[in-house]
Structure 1
Amino acid sequence: MESIQSFARANYPAIRQFELIDKIADFSLADASSAWAPQISLSGQATYQSDVVSFPESMTDVFSMLGVDISGLHKDQYKLALNIEQTLWDGGYTKSRKEAVLAEKEVSSKSLEVELYALTDKVNQLYFGILVLDEQLRLNDLAAGILEDNRKIIRSYIDNGLAGPSDLAKVEAELIANSQRRTRICCSRKAYIQVLSVMTGRELSEEDTFVRPEPVLYSGGPQSNRPELQLYEAMAASIEAGRTALKSTLMPRFSLFAQGLYGYPGLNMFEDMMEYRWRPNFYVGVRFQWNISAFYTKRNTERRLDASVRQVELQRETFLYGNRLEQVRLNADIEQMRKILEDDDKLINIRTSIREASESQLRNGTLLISDLLRDINDEHRARIDKSIHELEYLKKLYEMRYTLNY
């Protein structure tokens, strides 16, 4: 059964999302790390201004008398700029961004694990369904053998005048009913196998043998190890990563920057007032930035994060509540099946002895064939009940295993 579960998990289309989740996280981490690389941008602009910097007319007259022509700046101005900025300290923003990416990756992975874990229960239901049908087939064939033996006996009685055709007809009718039951069981078994074949992506056939799994007993406490709990932990960690990111937005940032310029006018405005010419210029410096307005929303953001944490806690508590209820129910069912199984062997022994006594009475001519058929059916039902009870007990154990994931 565990191999079928592994095949079903490997064949489930959503499992391919794990690779995509890793790739998306790697890309996001690379993007976050690029914040420490020099940020380079190129810009350009052309403007026409209504007014420009110029000397008063009295001063231009003086310059003219001295033979200096200062025509002033042109109103059409142009600039090409290459900007380079290197972050020195970003208040922990890049680090918090990486933590948020990893936390989001964990949430996505755990959410997918929850979806995949649900496959286990579906496979268990189908697998135990096949085991029940296999047992019904075995017991059905056993009952058919008993009926066939009694049909031979009744035929010999008819030959000796000890029984009539109606007695034989009753047995043959029961054999036909038995054959119909076998057909229904085989069709159901085929359908179950076909569903498992689709789920596992393997070619399973009706000739395959499905082995009964060993009992799995839980000796620990009531704690659960379900993947849903790991998902809630990942969700809480993701919220805390958001809290760290919030703190980083409140911190100042320091960076080095440089800007190379080419255009008109340049940084030496007086020179450009005397001569119209495009010139290269540059400047470097240290920049300090602090977004004070981030404090406006800090309190509401913290409240929203607190509410999200509480929401995750309530989801976790609700899941554990339902999980504990399921555990209590399964414990009661398991205990009930144990007590029922204790009496099954006794009941089968009694039904077998009654059937054998009825066969003896039939041979002696002191019992009706209908009474024998009733006793055969009672014994057959007792054997079926025991087999079903054993499988139900085993199924409940595996349901407990699924409920607690041990």
Structure 2
Amino acid sequence: MKKVVFILIAVISFSSVAQEILTLNDCYKLVETNYPLIKQHQLLEKQHQLDTEIISNSKLPQINLDAQATYQSDVIEIPIPNANIDPLNKDQYKATLSVNQLIYNGGLTAANLKVKKAQFKTKQKQVDTNIYQLKSQINRLYFSVLLTEETFNLLESKKKQLESKLKEVQSGIKHGVLLPYSDSVLEVELLKIKQQFIAIESQKTTLIETLSSLIGQSVSNATKFEKPLVKTELQTEISRPELDLFQLKKEEINSQEALISKQNALKLNGFATGGYGNPGLNMLDNSFQTYYIVGVKLHWNVFDWNTNKKQQATVAINKDIIENETEIFKLNTNIELNKQQQEIEKISAFINSDEEIINLRKKVLKTLDAQLKNGVITSSVYITEFTNLFEAENTLLRHKIQVQLAKANYNTIKGQ
């Protein structure tokens, strides 16, 4: 039984640890799932469904109920001698129930539905585009967290080296090899490192809290951020969602053109009206009567002063504007890609020189270390060069993170 409990605890502990690993791709997926803007997909879906139902209702019979009571100053009289015809009442009443049924409208309803469908797709893609643009923020935050972790680890290494060196110096002071208070410089440097630890932890907490808000998932300071090895394919085709958005906008314009072309189409409606009133259809019968009318109605706008053609021309201009925006977007994107490519090459060159600088700094520090042990130099001189080595190593770490960030940004700009 104890073995079973132990195994369960081990499995749970392992699962907990496994859950503490976060990757850059995880962040991309989480923001696409949890960011509040994603709710607009469902809202737009509901809106499109309602719009479709509203337009489709035009195919159904339209039923209207009307009632009217009037009093008029004069009525029609028939001036025929000896005619026994009662004059109409000046107060008249009428109630009608009308039914209108669309028979034919030249495909106008279907064209309206296509426009709404195209608008729906455009709005959905706009949401996707806005969410995609968050990837740049995620890149910056994620790699900034990695930088704080690497800096923390390097600082921890520096602290251990200084603590070891402090013991050597204190031993040298004890045996009279080094001057009194030579250890004070090292102790001050250790206190500075303690302050740097606090600053790094505070910065990391702020970055993680911001990232957590963005991806919609709680992330603790204990979470392990996996270091990605970002690969880039230079000079490949751009596949940004904005290009899909531009294409959908053009399709929306095409559907609007089709709708405009059908606005002047022949329209045929059937109608039926039943009524009760005084007078009825027989104006000579001065009493309440029931009546009905049935028929068909044809409507055709034969001449509209070229309004339809002008609307078509306006829509065509909108299409040209979209083409122009697409061209500008591609141009600006290629410029950004070129800048990122230059940034990658520049930082890669920095990394090569950083490694050479570190090797030289280590040689100098090794010489100073021997001189400090023999009392040839003071601990201040040693700390100065030790700090120079730390700064060089920190610069290398920063450049390694920066080149990965530049590659991630390159892929984001390209749409990969």
Give the TM-score normalised by the residue count of structure 2: 0.87
Q: Is the 8 A contact 2:31 2:131 kept in 1?
A: no
Larger radius of gyration: 1
Residue 379 of structure 1: aligned partner: 389
Tell whether 2:253 aligns with 1:243.
no
Q: Deviations over 1:332-375 (max 9, x none)?
A: 01111222223333333332233223222333444443332233
Alpha-carbon RMSD across the aligned residues, in angstroms, is: 2.2
TM superposition shift of 1:277: 2.6
Alignment of 1:54-93 (within 5 A): 54-58=77-81, 61=82, 69-93=84-108
Q: Is the 8 A contact 2:97 2:275 kept in 1?
A: yes
- CA–CA distance in structure 1, aligned partners of residues 216 and 56 of structure 2: 41
- CA–CA distance in structure 2, aligned partners of residues 321 and 224 of structure 1: 11
- CA–CA distance in structure 1, aligned partners of residues 304 and 128 of structure 2: 37
Residue 338 of structure 2: aligned partner: 328
Residue 322 of structure 2: aligned partner: 312
- CA–CA distance in structure 2, aligned partners of residues 198 and 190 of structure 1: 12
Residue 8 of structure 1: aligned partner: 31
- CA–CA distance in structure 1, aligned partners of residues 304 and 120 of structure 2: 27
What's the secondary structure of 2:69's corresponding residue?
A: strand
Residue 263 of structure 1: aligned partner: 277
Structure 1 gaps, min length 5: 64-68
Q: Is the 8 A contact 1:82 1:259 kept in 2?
A: yes
Tell whether 2:243 aligns with 1:229.
yes
What's the secondary structure of 1:20's corresponding residue?
A: helix
Structure 2 gaps, min length 5: 1-23
- Structure 2 residue identity aligned to 1:102: K
- Structure 1 residue identity aligned to 2:67: G
The more displaced of 228-237 and 380-389 is 228-237
Q: Which of 49, 70, 74 does residue 47 from structure 1 map onto? A: 70
Alignment of 1:18-29 (within 5 A): 18-29=41-52
- Closer/same/farther in 2, CA of residues 144 and 352 from structure 1, 3 Å limit: same
Aligned residues: 393
Residue 178 of structure 2: aligned partner: 163
Residue 406 of structure 2: aligned partner: 396
- Structure 1 residue identity aligned to 2:231: V
- Structure 2 residue identity aligned to 1:392: Q
Q: Is the 8 A contact 1:9 1:119 kept in 2?
A: no
Residue 108 of structure 1: aligned partner: 123
- CA–CA distance in structure 1, aligned partners of residues 76 and 116 of structure 2: 51
Residue 279 of structure 1: aligned partner: 289
- Structure 1 residue identity aligned to 2:297: R
Residue 225 of structure 2: aligned partner: 210
TM superposition shift of 1:220: 5.5
- CA–CA distance in structure 1, aligned partners of residues 274 and 315 of structure 2: 44
Q: Is the 8 A contact 1:46 1:78 kept in 2?
A: yes
- Structure 2 residue identity aligned to 1:146: Q
